Amino acid sequence: MKNKNQSQKKMLVIFATITLITIGIVSNCGCVGKNKNTIKIEGAFALTPMMEKWASEYRKIHPEINIDIISNGAGQGMADALLGIADIGMVSREINNTEIQQGVFFVSVVKDAVVATINTNNPVIEEILRKGVTKQQFIDVFITRNITTWGQLVGNESLSNDRIVVYTRSDSCGAAETWAKYLGKYKQNDLINAADSAVNGDNTLAATIQREKFGIGFNNIGYVYTKKLADGTVLPADNIIPVPIDLNENGVLDENENVYANRSTIITAINNYVYPSPPARALHLVTLHNYTGIVKDFVYWILTGGQQYVLDAGYVPLPPETITAQIGYLESGTRPEIER
């Protein structure tokens, strides 16, 4: 009898130990409730300010939902969404066929644009603002480097022999892909290969141009128009200004091409297709295979109630018929590009 009691005690000790270890493992790994009330979002700098606004407003009506947002570039957002590390990837470029074949599912949620940027103390700033810059001139600056001084760019080398210092992005990003696509059949690597320097992140590139008198780069408009006045007008930040595009290439920036005064004027130009596309483009939310659960609910809200915040946040709404199509894709879990 004594041996039997000892065996029972040993079994109880073993059972209790296993139970405690199991509870400990589950607690330490965070598996209890993991993702139940949390949405993890990563990706494009271009979409981050908009997503932060959406997350803030959504949590007012769903305080039980946590939304973690990491701004680390469209490439990383896409990669982590495909790996299932992120619930949502923010992507500011076109989705390619390879990513679709890997199982990505996406919906378009808003529109934005990339602009070339220079320092306001640039030696030929008045000429640039009077004449604008043609696409071919941008190609000669960013890709071929056939234009190397600021005087060459405005067609008067006596104005400035200062060398143009070209900056681009080092992180895999939609802004660089979009700017390269605007210039022609180029990729981000073409910009990197030709540039004097490549920096990580939209905000870092904007800060670099603010410091560099002879620099030229490009940014999403949300990182250029950041100076808010009391009347609500949003101007370019100090020491940085968009480079106007001479769309009809007549050597003069015509009144209809002068759309860069403040955030509202360029948003209107994007909305009216005056500012070309690219470098204007739709921004996307991607995930692996399909949206489900609280993540799907959040994306649905973005496409419905969340659209009321788009203009105030400095973005351009997609046409109503486009939004309706995205809701259909979200609800059905597929879209034409994926069916092909």
Q: What is the pLDDT along the chain (340 residues), one digit of tens a residue?
A: 444 455 555 544 444 444 333 333 333 333 333 457 999 999 999 999 999 999 999 999 999 999 999 999 999 999 999 999 999 999 999 999 999 999 999 999 999 999 999 999 999 999 999 999 999 999 999 999 999 999 999 999 999 999 999 999 999 999 999 999 999 999 999 999 999 999 999 999 999 999 999 999 999 999 999 999 999 999 999 999 999 999 999 999 999 999 999 999 999 999 999 999 999 999 999 999 999 999 999 999 999 999 999 998 989 999 999 999 999 999 999 999 886 5
Hey, what amino acid is at 217? G
CA distance 287 to 97: 15
**What local confidence, expressed as pLDDT, does residue 339 receive?**
67
CA distance 152 to 149: 5
Which residue in the block uniquely carries the two structure tokens 């990182």? 223
β strands within the chain, DSSP E = 38-43, 66-71, 88-91, 104-118, 165-169, 197-199, 215-220, 225-228, 234-236, 241-242, 280-288
47 closest CA partner among 178, 211, 221: 221
CA distance 114 to 3: 80
CA distance 325 to 340: 17
Q: At what angle do helices 320-332 and 293-303 cross, to 10 degrees?
A: 170
User: What spatial distance separates the first Cα and last Cα of the chain, rounded to whole Å?
Assistant: 73
50 closest CA partner among 223, 176, 232, 214: 223
- Please give the distance of CA 97 from its chain centroid, rounded to a whole number: 20
Tell me the pairing of strands 104-118 and 241-242: antiparallel
pLDDT, one tens digit per residue, over 41-85 is 999 999 999 999 999 999 999 999 999 999 999 999 999 999 999
Whether the pTM exceeds 0.75: the reply is: yes
335 closest CA partner among 291, 279, 280: 291
254 closest CA partner among 234, 269, 239, 264: 269
* Residues 193 and 187 sit within 8 Å (Cβ to Cβ): no
Report residue 27 as tokens: 């607690």
Phi, psi of 174 (to 5 degrees): -70, -35
CB half-sphere exposure, 221, CA atoms < 13 A: 30
